[in-house]
Amino acid sequence: MNNQQFQTPIEYLKGVGLARAEVLKKELQIYNFEDLLRHFPYKYIDRTRFYKIKDIQPDMPYVQVLARVTHKELLGEKHTKRLIVQAKDDTGFIELAWFQGIKWVEKMLVPGKVYVIFGKPGFFNGKTQMSHPEMELYNPGAQQQKGNLTLQPAYNSTEKLKQFTLDSKGLQKLIAGLLEQTARDIHENLPTYILNRFKLAGRQESYRNIHFPNDANQLKEARYRLKFEELFFLQLKLLKNKLSRTQKFKGNVFDKVGHYFNEFYHDKLPFPLTNAQKRVLKEIRTDTQRGVQMNRLLQGDVGSGKTVVALMSMLIAIDNGFQACIMAPTEILANQHYQTIKDLVGDGFIEVALLTGSVPAKARRAIHEKLENGTLNILIGTHALIEDKVQYKNLGMVVIDEQHRFGVEQRAKLWRKNIVPPHVLVMTATPIPRTLAMTMYGDLDISIIDELPAGRKPIQTVHFFEAQRLRMFGFMKQEIAKGRQIYVVYPLIQESEKLDLKNLQDGTEVMAREFPLPQYRISIVHGKLKAAEKEFEMQRFIKGETQIMVATTVIEVGVNVPNASVMIIENAERFGLSQLHQLRGRVGRGADQSFCILMSKEKLSNDGRIRLNTMVKTNNGFEIAEIDMQLRGPGNIEGTQQSGVLDLKVADLTTDQDILQQARNCVIEIFEKDPQLAAPENQILNLAFQAKNAGLSWDKIS
């Protein structure tokens, strides 16, 4: 048999057949042999020891007990019919109960005999009990060979599958059979020097042992090996992409820092740069002068000063005779960038224009003209920037803000905007855990601004329940009296848009009563407003004509009103951590002490409580991102969908940081020495790569 056998449709496996194949495909996406082999246990049940009855706690997972059945009794009628069995060891009694299959169990169990009892303890009528345990007559001699004293794999199954006797046990049987038939053909795909260096178990052995480990150590080794392999090949793919991109595309050479950069730096920049900003500028500077296209991700918390870094990078482009653009995900944000940049550069220094969907045709034509003749230096806008009719004379640098809202495809469109593709700087204010960054953006270089401008006072965050609302109102009045402005934000979640809108309306009414005209003025902004209305309301707040802005999450990104120093988040328990953090980042931008008040109902889910506590505890976006990932799993973090993160079967980005780092470093080293994977010892990797190019997936067994 050759390795094609792993692609064999699952119906051809002994014991499967058409009907079961159908449900396997539907329920577990198991289409072929390989998919089944890669249906790994989600946990293992420890059958390596017997528990004493007195040590059993109701909250324990599955346990194994050796006990003598002393008594059995059928109770109840029809629907309440049940079999209750007493068993004892030398430490105490345990009650066992059956509600189904009673007859058979009743017949099989013989009082006076000792059984291996295996099940999940529970608590019932004040007693420790097990319902529907597995019972096996104890046979000291046979115990060992029957393999009972091992870790039993438990597989995910579904109700549907169970109807086809494919519960965990059923799946286990199929997998055992499949392994027996094919294990010999699971070939090694890592070079020996890597196996040795990282002390990795062999591939075949690892596949066996992850399903059927003899002991905890074997399992550990198997998992380590398979995790390493998985992460290694993902990194190989990402870094190979990066390598071929740098080989394929030349980059514009920005070999000088000239008038624009220098004049801005010396005469216009209103504050000293932070060390982090300087470091990142250096990284960008180095990248853009070596003749290779830059693809850099700039991560920095809200308020860390990414915009200035972007602007100064663009000034370098302009110094070298190129144009630059900033692409933002929303008009509000594009607008904000436009204002910020205009304010920073002042009049008559460079030509900056804003291009969004709401720019009238005539103005738009003027912009196009200036872009094409090269008199426009910086264009700021939304998706409109990359429409085909937008032609640049010489686009050298593209800044993309809030990247994960832009698809890969949209980014690719930019490549075509010049013969030599522009340098790309992707900015995100959503810090991503390190492991995620290495996987999602593994083919990008990463810069981090991990320092806030000096003199910023950390935002103080409190969590209030509904009962403390009056206190909140009092606090608001006190801050408004000091001349500050306040945001009040309501959730806006697609599925319950109506409800949210109602919350917003009710909330606004309460606010309007509490903060009456003419003393107080309120702006209201939500997604149902027309762009012009929204803009009007925003402007009133920005100009300080209103003191309170009641809004849905449309203000999440981009609004910059330094005088707004209080952020109130209603129904805070309904927001995700990163969103809460983003919202909070709207304040704390001026010199004043800023505050964030998280309002929630009394009853919180466990996760909800952790989220709110985390917010109260820390302002550090990277720390928050880590906790967010632990709560939701890497697959639910925004932007991970197309990144391959979801394809991970054994590795877990929340716990396998070290393995990931090892694997990535290893790949980097390999490419440094042998970029073509041409060395004999790397043949094996090269083959794996070709398999991929032939349309097979990365983790293929063959």
Binding stretches for ligand ADP (CB under 6 A): 271, 273-274, 277, 300, 302-308, 429, 453, 560, 589
Pairing relationship of beta strands 82-89 and 63-75 according to DSSP bridges: antiparallel
**CB nearest ligand ADP: which residue?**
305
What's the min distance (Å) between Cβ of 566 and ligand ADP? 18
For residues 23 and 280, which CB has a smaller minimum distance to ligand ADP in the complex? 280
Tokens standing for 313?
A: 């990078």
For residues 350 and 666, which CB has a smaller minimum distance to ligand ADP in the complex? 350
What's the min distance (Å) between Cβ of 162 and ligand ADP? 51
Residues in the chain: 702
For residues 252 and 304, which CB has a smaller minimum distance to ligand ADP in the complex? 304
For residues 485 and 600, which CB has a smaller minimum distance to ligand ADP in the complex? 485
**Which three-class secondary structure state does DSSP give residue 639?**
coil
416 Cβ contact list (under 8 Å, min separation 6) = none
Bridge partners, residue 27, by sequence: none
Q: Is residue 333 a contact partner of residue 352, using CB atoms and an 8 Å limit?
A: no
For residues 273 and 604, which CB has a smaller minimum distance to ligand ADP in the complex? 273
Tokens standing for 367?
A: 């912009």
If one counts every other C-beta atom within 10 angstroms of the C-beta of residue 106, the result is 14
Residue 551 phi, psi dihedral angles, 5° rounding: -150, 160
For residues 246 and 340, which CB has a smaller minimum distance to ligand ADP in the complex? 340
Spacing of C-alpha 514 from chain mean position:
40
- How far apart (Å, rounded) are the C-alpha atoms in residues 19 and 175? 18
Edge to edge, what strands does the sheet with 395-401 contain? 352-355, 378-381, 323-327, 395-401, 423-428, 295-300, 445-449
What's the min distance (Å) between Cβ of 646 and ligand ADP? 29
- How far apart (Å, rounded) are the C-alpha atoms in residues 78 and 62? 29
Query: 411-449: b or e for each residue (b if 16 or more CB lie within 10 Å)?
Result: bebbeebbebbbbbbbbbbbbbbbbbbbbbbbbbebbbb
What's the min distance (Å) between Cβ of 380 and ligand ADP? 14
DSSP H or E segment with residue 245: helix 216-248
Q: Is residue 252 a contact partner of residue 211, using CB atoms and an 8 Å limit?
A: no
DSSP H or E segment with residue 689: helix 683-693
Residue 278 phi, psi dihedral angles, 5° rounding: -60, -45
What's the min distance (Å) between Cβ of 461 and ligand ADP? 18
- How far apart (Å, rounded) are the C-alpha atoms in residues 520 and 476? 11
Q: Is residue 436 a contact partner of residue 410, using CB atoms and an 8 Å limit?
A: no
What's the min distance (Å) between Cβ of 379 and ligand ADP? 18
Q: Is residue 101 a contact partner of residue 82, using CB atoms and an 8 Å limit?
A: no
What's the min distance (Å) between Cβ of 265 and ligand ADP? 12
For residues 292 and 446, which CB has a smaller minimum distance to ligand ADP in the complex? 446
What's the min distance (Å) between Cβ of 247 and ligand ADP? 33
Tokens standing for 337?
A: 């960038």
What's the min distance (Å) between Cβ of 337 and ligand ADP? 9
What's the min distance (Å) between Cβ of 274 and ligand ADP? 5
632 Cβ contact list (under 8 Å, min separation 6) = 576
What's the min distance (Å) between Cβ of 682 and ligand ADP? 41
For residues 343 and 388, which CB has a smaller minimum distance to ligand ADP in the complex? 343
Tokens standing for 527?
A: 């997604």
What's the min distance (Å) between Cβ of 554 and ligand ADP? 17
Tokens standing for 274?
A: 């932070």
What's the min distance (Å) between Cβ of 336 and ligand ADP? 8
For residues 218 and 485, which CB has a smaller minimum distance to ligand ADP in the complex? 485
Q: Is the dihedral of CA 601, 603, 609, 611 positive or negative?
A: negative
530 Cβ contact list (under 8 Å, min separation 6) = none
DSSP H or E segment with residue 522: strand 522-525
